[in-house]
Amino acid sequence: MEFKAKEIAEILKGTVVGDPEVKISTFARIESGKPGAICFFANPKYEHYVYDCEASVIIVNDTFEPQKPVKATMIKVPNAYASVAALLDYVTAKRRSYKRYRGCHIKRFFSTRIGRKVYVGSGTYLGRHAEIGDYTKIYEQVYIGDNVKIGSKCIIYPGVRIYPGMVIGDNVIIHANAVIGSDGFGFAPLDDGSYKKIEHTGNVIIEDDVEIGANTTVDKSQMGSTIIRKGVKIDNLCQIAHNVEIGENTVMAAQTGIAGSTKVGKHCIIGGQVGLAGHITIADNTTLAAQTGVISSIKTEGQVFLGSPALPHKQFLRAYAVFRRNGKE
């Protein structure tokens, strides 16, 4: 797909500095831009690449004032990072085609309700009374259980398993081999030392605009719902246990594990390999650095935590200085 600089500027509501007729047909990182490619510059530490980049077009913040001549045509926008995300969305939507039942060997029932222009890949199973919204794309080898509800404009990648009774909103993306709605890890200890399984009768509710990474698992609740609120972004290989609730627009990096009945607030940032104990609450706007271990509730909003067990940022740095000093003695 080919665009002129002036067309991109119109899409992004930006301003062209340079040749508005120059054409691009691919995306590239700014350190490896080639003719015919479009790049973006948002992080100041990459500024030196702007002057040497061979790309045809570079998207930059409108506050950027070059210190040297720039070979490429620039498109100035209020937020370069957000603009390139919007442009990628635009191009992807243009490329995507929705054809109903292009695949073959699809198992479905008369009670399954499928919206307009839905794509379903080969080998996919659609359960009884399942509902699929308009323009949703379900790739090959997906299992969708009975009474599942999936909204409009969703993308369900190959190998995803969605257990019966789960509810998924609009514009949700679920990557390959994720599991939505498996039983939580609940067992009652018996007098003889064995464990009796506790049946889970609830479900998972995933609200609009959520993205869930590959091989992530979201367990259904014992009673009620495990809830992933609007705008949450979850990376690959994460574990969300039963009865968990994750607040709006929280982001979570890979290999994070959240134990049962924990509530995470809105706009939180959770780094890779973070572990959260069960039955705790995390305040809104909390940041948990990579490998942080949280064993008790965080009640004050807007704090940054590090370490295991988790400590507030400044306290952790003071403690770490003591650890280093003692380690040298």
Residues 6+ apart with CB under 8 A from 283: 265, 298, 299, 300, 301, 302, 303
- Tokens coding 6: 């002036």
Displacement of CA 196 from its chain's centroid (Å): 35
- Active-site residue flag, 200: no
- Say if residues 38 and 56 touch (Cβ distance below 8 Å): yes
- Tokens coding 47: 């500024």
- Residue tagged 């509530």 (tokens): 263
| Terminal Cα distance for the chain, rounded | 63
Give 197: exposed, middle or buried? Use CB within 10 Å, 0-12, 13-18, 19+.
exposed
- Say if residues 173 and 233 touch (Cβ distance below 8 Å): no
Of 99, 119, 242, 257, residue with least CA distance to 182: 242
State the DSSP string of 83-145: HHHHHHHHHHHHH----TT-SSS-B--TT-EE-TT-EE-TT-EE-TT-EE-TT-EE-TT-EE-
Q: For residues 47 and 51, what is the distance between their CA atoms, to the nearest angstrom?
A: 8
Which among 48, 175, 242, 313 is annotated as catalytic? 242
Residues labelled as active-site residues: 242
